[in-house]
Amino acid sequence: MPGKRVRRKLIKKKQRQRRRQKAAKERDKQELEAENLRLTDPDYQECLMRQEKLEEFQRQAAEREHQEAEKAWMQREAIAQQQFRIDEAKRRQKQEEVERLQREQAEERAKREESARKQREEHLQRTAKAAAEFEAMMQSMAEYLNDPEIEKPPQHLLRVMETHPEERPCEFFNRTNCCRYGHSCTFNHRRPMLSRILLIRHFFSHSLLQEQRTKPNEYSGADEGLELTEMDMRDDYDVFFADAVEELQKFGTIVNFRTVRNTLEHLRGHVFVEYTDERSALRAFTNLQGRYYACKRLNVEFSNLKTWRGAVCGLSLTRICPKGNQCGYLHLFRNKDNLFNTELEYTTGPKSKRNSSQTPTAKTPSWDDQSEHGRNWRWSESPEPQLEHSKESKTRKGKDLKNHHTSEYRSRSRRDKDPNRTSSKRDRSSSDSHRREQHRSNGYKHSRSHSRDRDC
């Protein structure tokens, strides 16, 4: 029963397949007959020809477009190839330039390394030479310091070190041994290896020596002297003076002890100490190195200060200096009981070399010279010495003024003795004041001529 049903389905499937094949053959036959009929039709033949011509024209147009596109592509390819060659040449040129620069840089680097190596070797040689010289100098210093039979210091210890030998000397350093630019100064600073004068920088410190800075407006009317006054600084300096002198006298006899009271940073609290000989100064120098005072390490060096005339401000003693303690020249403290305030002449070398030819003929005014004769340099605006022609002119003016005063005194005596001769006191006072004003103006012009050369 199931086999019959399957066979019946297969028979029906075959029948449907034969019917479809027969219908397809019939359709193909009809189409062929219709195509034969269309081919026999002249209109259809003409349409086929037009279709063929159109297809041929489209084919030729496509070929022409293809040829034009290929030609354009070839042109673009040629341009691209040419640009590629140009770019490649530029790239090679740039690469060659880079390689050349690299070679030059490598050569320069090699030269720099060679120069640095030579500089290191030279530096090591100079360092070794300086160390050997320093050791020899220290040995000679120790021999000179410990051997009392050596009266004069060795000649190589009297050398002068220069910071810039090719430049001109620094005027302020030559006069005061202090320069506001310090080691960065472009001028030449000459420092002695050994001398009788020691310079201890920033030895004395006090709050009133600090530079006064501008305060806000709300404190502009405050009294600055409520906390510390000049008397307080004077008492503190007396204590410092006694303490410092007691220690410094252990190394030798002190001739001068001068303390700077300027408020400028490069001058504040400096102390100049002069001994009778170089051995005492060297002993103090070696013993003070590395020591501390008031929690500050001492900075001790030798000084070649020549005279106080060129270092001290001429207006400092009378306290009429227009710049006050901010002056560029030295303003000094007065020592207690006027101790260690002797005049300082040329002391750049040992006593054997400070002969009479180096000493000026005119006596240098000392700190406490109160003589009315000669030039009183404290009252001038410039601490520089006067020129010879200025001294002669001043002497001649002094003689003329003395003769004038003598004649005026005699005339006044005659007028007082003669009752008939009457004169007005107001006229005499006006003439005297006129003469004094003229004399003061002449002195002011003379002082201004010196102050233009140097500024306090």
Inter-residue contact 329 to 176 (CB < 8 Å):
yes
The mean pLDDT of the chain is 76
What's residue 406's pLDDT? 56
pLDDT band at 455 (very low <50, low <70, confident <90, very high): very low
pLDDT value at residue 148? 79
Report the percent of the chain where pLDDT is more than 70. Answer: 71
Task: Report pLDDT digits (tens) over 227-258.
Answer: 778 888 899 999 999 999 999 999 999 999 99
Q: Which amino acid is at 255?
A: V
């010495």: which residue's tokens?
385
> Does the structure show a pLDDT above 60 at 223?
no
Question: What are the pLDDT digits (tens) for 384-417?
Answer: 444 444 444 445 545 555 555 555 555 555 554 4
What is the secondary structure of 92-105 as a DSSP string? Answer: HHHHHHHHHHHHHH
d(CA 340, CA 252): 13
Which parts of 147-184 fold into alpha helices (H)?
A: 171-176
| 284-324 tens-digit pLDDT | 998 898 889 988 899 999 998 887 778 888 787 777 788 88
Beta-bridge partners for 194: none
pLDDT score at 295? 86
Residue 246 in tokens = 């007691």
Query: Of the given ranges (19-33, 87-101, 327-341, 426-440), which has the lowest mean pLDDT?
Result: 426-440
User: What does the pLDDT read at residue 302?
Assistant: 92
Could you tell me the pTM of the whole model?
A: 0.51
- Whole-angstrom Cα distance, residue 381 to residue 316? 10
In degrees, to the nearest 5, what angle opens at C-alpha 295 toward C-alphas 291 and 296?
60
**Of 308, 307, 309, residue with least CA distance to 384:** 309
Question: Which domains are assigned to the chain?
Answer: 161-211+232-358 (3.30.70.330)
Contact assessment for residue 161 and residue 138, using Cβ atoms and an 8 Å cutoff: no
Candidates 410, 405, 407; CA nearest to 436 is 405
Query: Residue 186 belongs to what H/E stretch?
Result: none
Kind of pairing between the strands at 296-297 and 197-201: unpaired
Give pLDDT tens digits for 13-27: 999 999 999 999 999
pLDDT, mean of residues 76-85: 94
pLDDT band at residue 456 using 50, 70 and 90 as cut-offs: very low
